[in-house]
Amino acid sequence: AGHLYVVATPIGNLGDLSPRAQAVLGGVDRICAEDTRTTGSMLAQFNIRKPMVALHDHNEDQSASTLVQALKNGQSLALVSDAGTPLISDPGFALVRAARAAGVTVITIPGPCAAVAALSISGIATDSFTFIGFLPPKAQARAVRLKALAAETRTLMFYESSHRIGESVDAIAEVFPTRQLCLARELTKLFEQSITATATEVAAWLKQDSNRSRGEFVLVLEGAEASDAHADDAEATRILRVLMQELG
């Protein structure tokens, strides 16, 4: 059977497509892409021309079985998304899972991932972290989600687009005003910028210049203090004890 290569692509700077990624993309039979036009123009810069197949959230389940059949017939495939690492807030999960279930060898060609890139420059604890992805777009659902994360001691990582960065940072500042927050925008691009300060300060910083709300963003938020979590554990233990008594 062929191999399935999961290939990371640049998040803004073409220089970040690794030599190994170039070799694999040039060597496979077909490339599964989130958007064949976006990937096509990226590959053209490297003089790579390959048959492509579109793989997005709407068609992934159906396409996965067809693609796994092709893999079992001996074709090798590369999976890419528009930018960064596939499957990280991007399509590919159904294909990878189906390939594994069918016994196909899945190989990583690692590279850029906006979340990990931002975390590594944030100055916020990296020993333990959790990826949340995009917050809900509606204000109330967003506030509920943030409050549900209040006791989380691990560093929290969010993705955000320019449409909602102001609203999201304001919401974070409302729930966690004094926590450290890193806002990283346009990583690896011409206007790359990052700031780490309290959430309140970052919210004010954003409002000072409308250019600061442009582009693509990662937010890295300091987790709760361990003592808060212990208080939570104590509460959980207390509730458990009550429940066990009820159950006799």
State the residues that interact with ligand SAM by CB under 6 A. Answer: 11-12, 81, 83-85, 88-90, 113-115, 159-161, 184-189, 216-218
Residue closer to ligand SAM, measured from CB, 30 or 189: 189
Residue of 50, 17, 12 whose CA lies nearest to 33? 50
Q: Which residue's Cβ has the minimum distance to ligand SAM?
A: 84
- Closest CB to ligand SAM among residues 184, 199: 184
> In this structure, what DSSP letter does residue 215 have?
S
What is d(CA 108, CA 133) in angstroms, rounded to the nearest whole number? 21
Q: φ and ψ at 182, to 5 degrees?
A: -105, 125
Asked if residue 157 lies in contact with residue 126, where contact means CB atoms within 8 angstroms, the answer is: no
* Least spacing, CB of residue 64 vs ligand SAM, in Å: 18
Distance between CA atoms of residues 217 and 193, nearest Å: 10
Are residues 10 and 216 in contact, defined by beta-carbon separation less than 8 angstroms? no
- Closest contact distance (angstroms) between CB of 151 and ligand SAM is 25
Can you tell me the distance from the alpha carbon of 229 to that of 151, in angstroms, rounded to the nearest whole number?
6
Q: How far is the CB of 1 from ligand SAM (least distance, A)?
A: 26
Query: Hey, what's the torsion of the CAs at 201, 205, 206, 211, to 10 degrees?
Result: -160
**Which CB sits closer to ligand SAM, 72 or 164?**
164
Q: Which is nearer to ligand SAM, 126 or 161 (CB)?
A: 161
Q: Which is nearer to ligand SAM, 11 or 199 (CB)?
A: 11
For residue 193, give the H/E element and its range.
Answer: strand 193-198
